[in-house]
């Protein structure tokens, strides 16, 4: 039964009236937990993206509100992420100085373009398109991004002021050249933050490791000025709600330069968000509308760009926390955004006391969590071709610019998919004077030649194709089977399809009509 029009325009009206005082109280507490987790993460991700710290908080407010209210998942929480941040940095840093006004404008324009791309996919109901970015590509890219992010943070960890690079190898080369200039108090503070965070993760997994380790390092630097007074701090900003930021939509040249990066980062955001939403929906037994979720992601980035929020996507950690903490509805994400907004207004001055090396250590802690060791081992055991795709994507992420690495991973994944489908399983047996081929796959242009070769290798004049597993046949497949049927007929035999699906039979009979079709059909 189709939804009423107001439910299509305002999908939150489906679940919002059903909320009770108990569920709202629960979601309010879950939202507070999510905000505590989001505060240090958002600041860290903004620095990764080359933006001032406050832009991480802005990205965790308006885009999160829109995505939660217009999405379909009860537990998916969006916001800035490490992978998205590093792709944005790689795409825009060659065009402007990171942190400058021009740089911020370009980031917001790219965010708007990425949102438009996502929204259009949702409006055209192309939700299945994101399936072309396989899970192995996401795993490889995420692991590679973790390494790239970690290398990019090492100069800050060591107290070095180095020019940012676009690839991991260049960053490593620059770091080696300046290794003798390390500031040891900065390194001590950064490594201490990392070690404390790892210890908390191992010993007390439910504690907010990122927040505790960052708070401890900040207090240490504050109360020991003799050692750490010279260590760089996060730049201060004026506490306020996300300001309006006009997006320069009239500059066609800029739009064309940013468009490839917008498509890459938009697709990455959708794949990440839908993967998280689907995994949580399985555990919560909730049905997800992929196209609605895609539209919500696009709308959140389109609107968010005008409120100083850079491109956001589903967050693994915040979404998992929302589910584990017992969120009753998307209100948990809404409350999380409101809590972050309160902190952006009231707690801005506190951020200015956070040491940059400690922030770098916390980002390294995030990078450690990005590497999915369990998924990598499982991929190696289950599918070697997909493991190769993951490895190629990982290497491309280290050697190429990140948006190019995504495209390389998608192409590698499609290559292995087409290679597998172009050679469907064919089991050949003999029944008296008849060769029987059982085909396990569709007959399309990519597989037609392979099947034609197998048919021509048959020794018997009569050939039967067991077609139970043939779901689809295109014109190339129809033409090939007609050619082979006529060839076998000239040799005194014939071609028979056994147990073929009705739609396959119809396609085969369309070419020359039912009367003249050279293929026989057997139930």
Determine the pLDDT at residue 65.
Answer: 93
- H or E element: which one contains 440? strand 434-440
- For residue 350, pLDDT beyond 60: yes
Read off the pLDDT of each residue in 302-324 and give the average, rounded to a whole number.
Answer: 84
Pair type for strands 425-431 and 434-440? antiparallel
Determine the pLDDT at residue 478.
Answer: 92
Helices and strands per DSSP (H, E), number in the chain: 24, 7
- CA 113 – CA 304 distance, rounded (Å): 12
Determine the pLDDT at residue 3.
Answer: 45
User: What b/e string do you get for 13-49 counting C-beta neighbours within 10 Å, with b at 16 or more?
Assistant: eeeeeeeeeebeebbbebbbbbbbbbbbbbbbbbbbb
pLDDT winner (highest mean) among 218-222, 243-247, 316-320: 218-222
- For residue 326, pLDDT beyond 80: no
Closest CA to 42 of 344, 325, 298: 344
Q: Tens digit of pLDDT for each residue in 201-239? A: 888 877 777 778 888 888 998 898 888 888 888 776 777
Burial class of residue 297 in the structure, from the number of CB atoms within 10 Å of its CB (0-12 exposed, 13-18 middle, 19+ buried): buried
CATH entry 3.30.750.24 includes domain 426-521: yes
Phi-psi sector, 366: left (phi>0), alpha (psi -120 to 50), beta? alpha
User: How confident is the prediction for the chain on average, in pLDDT?
Assistant: 84
Say which residue the tokens 């057997």 belong to.
522
Q: Tens digit of pLDDT for each residue in 296-309? A: 999 999 999 999 99
Q: How far, in whole angstroms, is CA 447 from its chain's centroid?
A: 31
Determine the pLDDT at residue 2.
Answer: 45
Rg (the chain; Cα; Å): 28
- For residue 19, pLDDT beyond 70: yes
Q: How many CB atoms lie within 10 A of CB 132?
A: 13
Residues of the chain with CATH 3.30.750.24: 426-521
Determine the pLDDT at residue 1.
Answer: 39
Helix/strand/coil (H/E/C) assignment for every residue in 222-288: HHCHHHHCCCCECCCCCCCCCCCCCCCCCCHHHHHHHHHHHHHHHHHHHHHHHHHHHHHHHHHCCCC
What is the per-residue DSSP string for 359-422? HHHHHHHHHHHH--HHHHHHHHHH-HHHHHHHHHHHHHHHHS-HHHHHHHHHHHHHHHHHHHHT
Torsions phi, psi for 246 (to 5 deg)? -60, 135
> Model's pTM, two decimal places?
0.67
Q: Which two tokens stand for residue 411?
A: 């192409």
Helix (H, G, I), strand (E, B) or coil at 293: helix
Of 26-35, 72-81, 202-211, 399-408, least confident by mean pLDDT is 399-408
Q: Tens digit of pLDDT for each residue in 386-416? A: 888 888 888 887 887 666 777 777 787 778 7
Read off the pLDDT of each residue in 14-40 and give the average, rounded to a whole number.
Answer: 82
Q: Tens digit of pLDDT for each residue in 118-155? A: 999 888 887 666 666 677 877 887 788 778 778 878 88
Determine the pLDDT at residue 522.
Answer: 84
Torsions phi, psi for 487 (to 5 deg)? -60, -45
Q: Tens digit of pLDDT for each residue in 359-382? A: 888 878 877 776 778 888 888 888
| Residue partners of 73: CB distance under 8 A and separation at least 6 | 277, 280, 281, 286, 288, 293, 330
Determine the pLDDT at residue 154.
Answer: 85
What is the per-residue DSSP string for 304-354? HHHTTPPP-EE-HHHHHHHHHTT--STHHHHHHHHHHHHHHHHSHHHHTTS
Determine the pLDDT at residue 455.
Answer: 92
Percentage, residues of the chain above pLDDT 70: 92
């Amino acid at each position: 039964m189709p939804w009423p029009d107001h439910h299509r325009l305002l999908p939150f009206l489906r679940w919002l009236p059903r909320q009770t005082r108990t569920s709202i109280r629960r979601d309010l507490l879950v939202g507070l937990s999510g905000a505590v987790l989001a505060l240090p993460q958002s600041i860290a991700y903004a620095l990764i993206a080359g933006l001032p710290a406050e832009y991480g908080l802005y990205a965790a407010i308006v885009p999160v509100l829109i995505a939660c209210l217009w999405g379909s998942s009860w537990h998916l929480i969006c916001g800035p992420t490490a992978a998205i941040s590093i792709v944005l940095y790689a795409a825009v840093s060659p065009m402007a100085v990171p942190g400058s006004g021009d740089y911020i404008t370009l980031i917001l324009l790219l965010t708007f373009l990425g949102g438009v791309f996502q929204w259009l996919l949702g409006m055209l109901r192309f939700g299945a398109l994101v399936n072309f970015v396989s899970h192995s590509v996401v795993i490889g890219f995420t692991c590679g991004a973790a390494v790239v992010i970690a290398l990019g943070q090492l100069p800050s960890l060591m107290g070095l002021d180095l020019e940012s690079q676009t690839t991991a190898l260049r960053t490593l080369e620059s770091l080696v050249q300046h290794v003798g200039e390390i500031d040891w108090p900065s390194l001590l503070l950064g490594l201490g933050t990392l070690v404390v965070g790892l210890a908390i993760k191992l010993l007390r997994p439910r504690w907010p490791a990122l927040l505790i380790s960052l708070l401890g390092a900040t207090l240490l630097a504050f109360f020991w000025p003799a050692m750490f007074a010279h260590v760089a701090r996060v730049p201060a900003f004026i506490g306020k709600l996300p300001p309006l930021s006009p997006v320069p939509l009239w500059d066609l040249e800029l739009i064309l330069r940013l468009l490839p990066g917008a498509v890459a980062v938009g697709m990455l955001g959708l794949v990440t968000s839908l993967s998280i939403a689907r995994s949580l929906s399985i555990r919560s037994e909730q049905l997800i509308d992929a196209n609605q979720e895609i539209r919500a992601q696009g709308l959140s980035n389109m609107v968010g760009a005008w409120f100083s929020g850079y491109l956001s996507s589903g967050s693994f950690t915040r979404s998992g926390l929302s589910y584990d903490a017992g969120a009753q509805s998307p209100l948990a994400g809404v409350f999380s955004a409101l809590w972050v907004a309160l902190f952006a207004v009231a707690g801005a001055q506190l951020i200015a006391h956070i040491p940059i090396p400690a922030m770098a250590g916390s980002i390294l802690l995030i990078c450690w969590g990005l590497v999915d060791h369990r998924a990598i081992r499982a991929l190696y055991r289950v599918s070697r071709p997909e493991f190769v795709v993951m490895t190629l994507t990982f290497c491309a992420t280290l050697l190429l610019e990140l948006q190019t690495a995504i495209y390389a991973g998608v192409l590698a994944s499609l290559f292995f998919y087409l290679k597998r489908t172009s050679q469907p399983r064919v089991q050949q047996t003999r029944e008296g004077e008849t060769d029987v081929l059982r085909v396990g796959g569709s007959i399309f242009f990519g597989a037609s030649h392979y099947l034609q070769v197998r048919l021509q290798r048959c020794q018997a004049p009569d050939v039967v194709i067991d077609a139970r597993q043939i779901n689809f046949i295109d014109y190339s497949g129809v033409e090939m089977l007609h050619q082979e049927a006529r060839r076998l007929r000239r040799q005194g035999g014939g071609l028979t399809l056994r147990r073929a699906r009705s739609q396959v039979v119809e396609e085969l009979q369309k070419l020359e009509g039912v009367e003249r079709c050279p293929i026989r059909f057997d139930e």
